[in-house]
């Protein structure tokens, strides 16, 4: 079972987080556990589950009605100098700008807010964008290949008494041959223990939290977001001007710096007739080479036979860099005005019926006129 949290002042992670850094709080009484985001890594397979995290405390409690003490395990990892990692401060994360081949000396502080002494495994790892662009780190058993390999910790195993803290020096060696741009990782603190799974099997509960690491290597920096896989689906309605459109697209960070942004989607008929536009909420910051899939729904879109879709991305997060510009993608979808076509078909059928009847009446009248004249002469 894995519990993981990464903190920042903005919610760009799929893990539990608060301002500046995440607190991990687990209350244990006998075999009962309350955790934040967990993944059960049992011998028989993997199970995912999520429950809200409990707030950290520093004093022991008593189980209601039993008198038995409740053991609380709560800790946080933050850049050294953060006096209270539950609050946003000057160093919510480890952020550096460096030349290639440089060495950076820093430190992180591990806070044990719990009521018992805990032993932690400390390590560095790589980061990436997960679902919906959320900031995520590699699983604990997966080896880093980039930023995580540049970090050396003075200790990889440490025991911290209850209510105490420990500061651990770190050294970052930036490779001399690394390409310029942004790199991301995290420093993690893990406290594994044994537990029992839902089916009674023995599992390893690997609870971890950490602090983000961003490193920008000086050189030629180019911010660029691209749009791909724009797909439009038109949904008809009886109202020819009241259809709806579902648009899906992918935003890709094609540059070498991390970027966020906002997407504006517009749909219109030929020559821009009946244009409808929507601006989506800002999407999560994307690391270089990462992508996120987004979608938009627009209402009251007129059916114009061929509707045009345009997606514009306004990047953010690279202020001060040159060539930061809006990028766009487009698509065309066949959207025949079925309502109008149906009405036109009915009108044509009515006109045909009236025309047939008119010809029939004229023919009958022409055929009946001579007989009528003869009858008049006989009288």
Q: Are residues 174 and 314 in the same domain?
A: no
What pTM value is reported for the model?
Answer: 0.71
Domain contains 369: no
What distance in Å separates the CA atoms of residue 171 and residue 152, rounded to the nearest whole number?
5
Q: Is residue 289 part of a domain?
A: yes
pLDDT band of residue 318 (cuts 50, 70, 90) is confident
Q: How many structural domains are present in the chain?
A: 2
Which of 217, 251, 272 is the C-terminal boundary of a domain? 217
> Does any domain span residue 358?
no
3-state secondary structure (DSSP) of residue 108: strand
Alpha-helical runs (H) found in 128-273:
none
Q: Which stretches within 243-310 are classed as H helix?
A: none
Contact 145, 185 (CB under 8 A): no
Q: Which of 163, 184, 217 is the last residue of a domain?
A: 217
Q: Contact at 8 Å (CB) between 274 and 301? A: yes
Evaluate whether residue 54 is within a structural domain.
yes
- For residue 218, give the DSSP letter: P
CA distance linking residue 153 with residue 124, whole number of Å:
8
* Whether residue 304 sits in one domain with residue 188: no
* Residue range 199-251, pLDDT digits in tens: 888 888 888 999 999 999 999 999 999 999 999 998 877 666 667 899 999 99
Tokens linked to 317: 């997060």
Question: What is the extent of the structural domain holding 144?
Answer: 2-59+71-217
Domain boundary among 168, 183, 217: 217
Give the confidence band of 185 by pLDDT, cuts at 50, 70, 90.
Answer: very high
First to last CA, the chain: 112
What are 163-181's pLDDT values in tens digits? 999 999 999 999 999 999 9
Least confidently predicted of 46-50, 105-109, 298-302, 365-369: 46-50
d(CA 72, CA 69): 9
CATH value at residue 20: 2.60.40.10
Instruction: Tell me if 292 is assigned to some domain.
Output: yes
């Amino acid at each position: 079972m894995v519990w993981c949290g990464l903190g920042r002042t903005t919610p760009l992670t799929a893990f539990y987080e608060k301002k500046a850094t995440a607190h991990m709080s687990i209350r244990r009484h006998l075999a009962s556990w309350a955790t934040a985001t967990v993944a059960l890594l049992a011998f028989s397979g993997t199970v995912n589950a999520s429950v809200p995290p409990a707030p950290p405390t520093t004093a022991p409690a008593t189980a209601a009605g039993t008198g038995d003490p409740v053991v609380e395990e709560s800790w946080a990892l933050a850049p050294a100098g953060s006096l209270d990692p539950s609050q946003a401060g000057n160093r919510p994360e480890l952020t550096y700008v460096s030349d290639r081949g440089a060495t950076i000396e820093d430190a992180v502080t591990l806070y044990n807010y719990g009521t018992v002494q805990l032993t932690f495994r400390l390590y560095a790892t790589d980061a990436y964008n997960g679902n919906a662009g959320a900031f995520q780190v590699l699983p604990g058993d997966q080896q880093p290949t980039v930023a995580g390999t540049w970090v050396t910790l003075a200790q990889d195993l440490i025991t911290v008494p209850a209510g105490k803290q420990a500061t651990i020096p770190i050294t970052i060696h930036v490779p001399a041959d690394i390409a310029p741009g942004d790199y991301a990782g995290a420093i993690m603190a893990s406290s594994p223990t044994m537990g029992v799974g839902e089916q009674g099997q023995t599992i390893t509960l690997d609870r971890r939290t950490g602090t983000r690491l961003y490193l920008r290597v000086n050189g030629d920096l180019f911010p660029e977001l691209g749009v791909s896989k724009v797909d439009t689906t038109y949904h008809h309605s009886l109202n020819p001007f009241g259809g709806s459109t579902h648009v899906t697209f992918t935003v890709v960070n094609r540059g070498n710096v991390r970027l966020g942004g906002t997407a504006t989607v517009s749909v219109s008929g030929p020559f821009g007739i009946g244009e409808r536009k929507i601006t989506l909420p800002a999407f999560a910051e994307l690391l270089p080479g990462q992508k996120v899939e987004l979608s938009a729904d627009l209402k009251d879109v007129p059916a114009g036979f061929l509707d045009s879709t345009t997606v514009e991305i306004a990047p953010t997060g690279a202020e001060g860099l040159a060539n930061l510009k809006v990028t766009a993608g487009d698509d065309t979808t066949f959207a025949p005005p079925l309502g109008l076509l149906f009405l036109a078909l009915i009108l044509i059928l009515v006109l045909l019926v009236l025309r047939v009847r008119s010809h029939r009446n004229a023919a009958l009248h022409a055929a009946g006129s001579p007989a009528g004249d003869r009858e008049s002469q006989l009288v």
